[in-house]
Chains A and B, each alone.
Chain A
Amino acid sequence: MKGSNPGEFEELILLTVASLYDEAYGVAIQDELKLAGRSVALSTIHVALFRLERKGWVESRFDGATKQRGGRRKHLYRVTASGQRVLKQAKKTREKLWESIPKAAFRFN
């Protein structure tokens, strides 16, 4: 069924949320992705997070206000069990495919 596998960008976001654990919110995710070499607009991240949440792969809460944010709470995300499952599934699929690549395929000269 369409939607049961994450898209490339969705996967990225999921991974970032997982790696940030409990500190995953808009700006943090954006910064993390930037470190990983990908700049993304804030709104894009939020839209993706909403979608992930609708699919049930992440869950969210509002918490963690700081002075820097003018006392506003963060929208914090955490990966759910089913999120973990799809991530693992995706990883496995990829690894399998990597393994099945013959060495000759990447020999360019």
Chain B
Amino acid sequence: MNEPNHINPPSWIERLLKFLLDEEVAESVVGDITEKFRKRAQQGNRRKATFLYVVEGLGLLRLIGQSKCQRQTNPSTFIGMIRNYSIVAFRNLKRERLYSVMNVSGMAIGIACFIVICCYIRFELSYDRYHVSHDRIYRIASEFDERGERVKSARTNPQVFNALHEGAAGIENVIRILPLSGIVSTDGVNKFRENNFCFADSTFFSTFSFQLIDGFLDHALHAPLSVVLTEYAARRYFGSTDIVGRQLTFEDEEKSYTFNVTGVIHDFLRNSHFRTEFIASFSSLKLMPFFKDEDYPPLYVYVQTNKETLPESVSDIILTTISKSGIELPEFFRASNPTYFVQPLDDIHLHSNLNSEWEVNTEYIYIQAFAALGLFILFIACINFINLATAQAEKRGREIGVRKVLGGLKDQLTIQFLTETFVYVLIAFALACGIAELSLRFFLADILGNELSLLSLVNIPSILIAIGFILVITFLAGIYPSLYLSQLMPIAALKGLPVKSGRDYLRHGLVSFQIVISCMLITATIVILKQVEYFKTSDLGFQKENIVSISLSDRHAQKNYIVLSEKLSQESAVISTGLSHTLPGRTNFYRWPVKPKGADETESRFIKTLGVDEGFVRTYNLSLIKGRDFSRDIPSDQTEAFIINEAAAEMFGWQQAVGQELELTVYIGGRQVREGTVIGLVKDFHFESLYQRVDPLILFINKHPYYAENLSVRMRPGELSTNIERIRAIWNNFHPERPMEYTFIDQDLDRLYQSETRLSKILSVISIIAVSISGLGLFSLSSYSASRRAREMSIRKIFGASSLRLLTLQYRLYVALVLIANAISIPICVQGLSQWLDSIPYRISLDAPIFVSTLIGSMVVTLLVITFHTLRVAVANPVTMIRNE
């Protein structure tokens, strides 16, 4: 027989069998399966042979503990032992129902919480990883001077593309993406504004990986005026995805363009740092008069490197290529000293927080905080288990004693209790998966901002991780109780003598630790909730309620805004209207140079400005401290009047601001210097988020169409929707071609604190879970110590102690525990929370009531939880207790 030597079965099976089986037995059975493997392999199918080899090899593990020389002895095999332990574990589970339910449910809730957090973190970490070459894609971001500040922006000037496009070693593709806003329509009748209509270079689809539904992605973006839609957009506009070759129009402020649909792709996944529904060919832009000299605004530039390019050298290659290329920047841009830096695609979502990001990214610190919270909860659950299991010592004492007397070894007992823990953890884990899946689906979708599911995790690596996780938890939760239980002296255990009381320190310590964590979570939750509440309710210096702001989205609306404004003023539901360039809560306030009149050029400072009309101050109810509002009747107000806020007056050092003269340089269709008088001083109002101090601000009249972007309308209090409908009717009359776009100022402002709101919600849930798990722990601890002290209490009662006295006697311990826990948690909370609060200029104070309420809350909960058992002992008839002995 010619033996094909190159065919060999996987060797790990042999090693495994040799390790676990008797030596000679192992040799012979490995020989058996090898023989079969060779025979099968010669018949052809090697894969199948290998597979069957592994299956049979694993099957042979049944022979563990069998050996030739053992044949005379009674086979007390390892497997049998484990089987017995599992049976005992299940019997215990059934007998001690309350204990088991609490133990398993506490553990299950803890694990579920941990799983949910893991899913969330995994999701956050998965951003953009679905692109096949995600590790070779980089974004070029820029840093430059703007409005007197150095800012970092996710966008880059388009000349960078030219520099890289001309060729640099190691770079495969360079892509520009420019999102524009415009009106999209398929039939000319139904028009929708799309704010993210993207133009991208033709290599877009070879760099980013998208699943095609229809069309040819290779050529999809070559021709001018071609566009690729996502499935969602295709269904929204055409009602089907079978639309290659059909047309849609994109209308900007001046013209309308007809695009050919060249492809349909699947929707962008939720874990993409940018998402759009339209990707049009970049070459289309040349047809637009606005960009005729390739004079594009800052845009996103992505680079895909070659496979050979080392990640460390990417930044160098790109930056030197840019600096060597000698690109010609426009004058205004060169003046802003631009520099560039490179961001790996993988880092954008968690590590980049620049200006003009596609969407708000997640802060990495949140991910870390969540991971910490998950671990805390898991620890609390393990502690619970340890407490409950050691508290069982007394009840298991007899069993342990008997086992020991009959020759059970300490190691065997340890393994027994670890097996029991394993059974508990296994059940808890199964339950936890269910809880986690349900809560991810039904409750957490809106808190976490997206829908996740465990089902996507059913694959081999995650199952292995799950098994590892179960083993780790088993070890963490089970090692102490099993060592402890297996150590008991058999005689003492058989007699049912109380276990040494010194051990209680550990148990009490663990319970205190649980209370510490719970208290910390409660305090943090209270503080964050209060701070968010403070953000939302504090006096901003203007009235944010009942203001709707209409955005004037095209030139027609901007030029004729006065018509709209007058019509609106006649409407009974409207109190007043005010025009402004931007809105409170937004960030795009222009900083322009200002100086006192006649002062030297060096004294000029960049101050935030807001161009408004005469109705603005009235509409927002700004409170004028001194002076007067702008007036239509005074013509000089149009160019020669300013209203400043207190911060500005303070900056100039003016006691008497009204009447002072200023020079403001504005760039409204060219540079203008406005010389004028301060006619009014307004109280500081929070025109930015409460994360920032109120900056100096100058209001001036600016009705130039380019800057007339927002018309705020103060409505009478009352039915909001009918008011809006009336306003909409006026708009439709005014500008029938465009839909009315509007926002409510108060909602806009609340959105500034969205991430804090979300954090506070998540923290509330987590602290409730922590409190309930710790509650379970306390409950069982109290049951344990109550039963241990039952005899003592009965004797005290016989000697005349009242029930109340007995109750307080037992409470003493827990009061002490809660006090100690609070004493530990308060300094930690003060430290951590004040660090957070100090970064916010307008904040709540971290005062005593917060901590007192935590203290009282934790005390009340603790005493309530333990009362069940302590009361039972305190009011019981002493005779029954003592007779039990």
Contacts and interface: CB of A to CB of B under 8 A. Distances in A.
A50 B31 contact: no
B541 to A, nearest CB: 81
Interface string A43-56: 10011001001100
B3 A69 contact: no
A53 B67 CA distance: 11
Interface stretch (B57-65, B117-125, B193-201, B484-492): B57-65
Contact of A68 (B3, B29, B63, B66): B3
B1 A68 contact: yes
Contacts of A68: 1, 3, 34-35, 38-39
Nearest to B23: A62
A53 B35 contact: no
B33 A75 contact: no
A54 B623 CA distance: 101
A70 B31 contact: yes
A69 B27 CA distance: 10
Contacts of B32: 25-27, 42, 69, 74
Contacts of B75: 54
Contacts of B36: 27, 42
A68 B39 CA distance: 8
B62 A75 contact: no
Given A69-B34, A75-B29, A46 B68 contact: no
A35 to B, nearest CB: 15
A67 interface: yes
A40 B38 CA distance: 19
B292 interface: no
B71 interface: yes
B70 to A, nearest CB: 9
Contact of A46 (B27, B29, B71): B29
Q: Chain B: interface secondary structure?
A: helix
B1 A42 contact: no
B29 A50 contact: no
A33 to B, nearest CB: 14
B29 A42 contact: yes
Given A41-B59, A54-B71, A67 B28 contact: no
Given A50-B66, A54-B71, A68-B1, A25 B28 contact: yes
Contacts of A42: 29, 32-33, 36, 56, 59-60
Contacts, number: 77
B233 to A, nearest CB: 57
A46 B35 contact: no
Contact of A47 (B1, B27, B31, B63): B63
Interface residues of A, number: 23
Given A42-B59, A42-B60, A54-B71, A47 B24 contact: no
A12 interface: no
Nearest to A46: B63
A43 B38 CA distance: 18
A92 interface: no
> Residue among B25, B32, B56 with the most chain A CB within 10 A?
B32
Contacts of A46: 25, 29, 60, 62-63, 66
A28 B59 CA distance: 18
Nearest to A50: B66
A80 interface: no
A41 B56 contact: yes
Contacts of B25: 46, 75
B30 interface: yes
10 contacts: A25-B28, A42-B36, A50-B63, A68-B1, A68-B38, A69-B31, A69-B34, A70-B34, A75-B28, A75-B29
Interface of B: 1, 3, 24-25, 27-36, 38-39, 56, 59-63, 66, 68, 71-72, 75
